[in-house]
């Protein structure tokens, strides 16, 4: 039950947050980016995905890119 509440809470937060960011799906990636053309994403050898900033920070434990923020 607690897991369901947590998942629903994250979905509500994600829907309300309109701040989309970009992440590299690679296993070594640790940052999220303000735009898909960021210098930090040039080295991405896997897919680039658009996610909410809340999801990137809370679920994926990513930090802001030092180039585009």
Q: What's the pLDDT score for residue 32?
A: 97
How does pLDDT run across 11-65, given as a tens digit for each residue?
A: 665 555 569 999 999 999 999 999 999 999 999 999 999 999 999 999 999 999 9
Alpha carbon distances (Å) from 4 to 8, 49, 52: 6, 25, 20
Contacts (Cβ under 8 Å, ≥6 apart) of 26: 44, 45, 46
DSSP string, 1-27: -HHHHHHHHHHHHHHH---EEEEE-ST
């Amino acid at each position: 039950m607690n897991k369901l509440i947590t998942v629903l809470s994250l979905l509500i937060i994600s829907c309300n947050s309109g701040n989309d960011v970009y992440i590299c799906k690679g296993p070594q990636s640790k940052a999220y980016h303000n735009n898909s053309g960021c210098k930090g994403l040039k080295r991405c050898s896997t897919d680039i995905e658009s996610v909410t900033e809340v999801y990137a920070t809370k679920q994926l434990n990513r930090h802001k890119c030092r180039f585009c923020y």
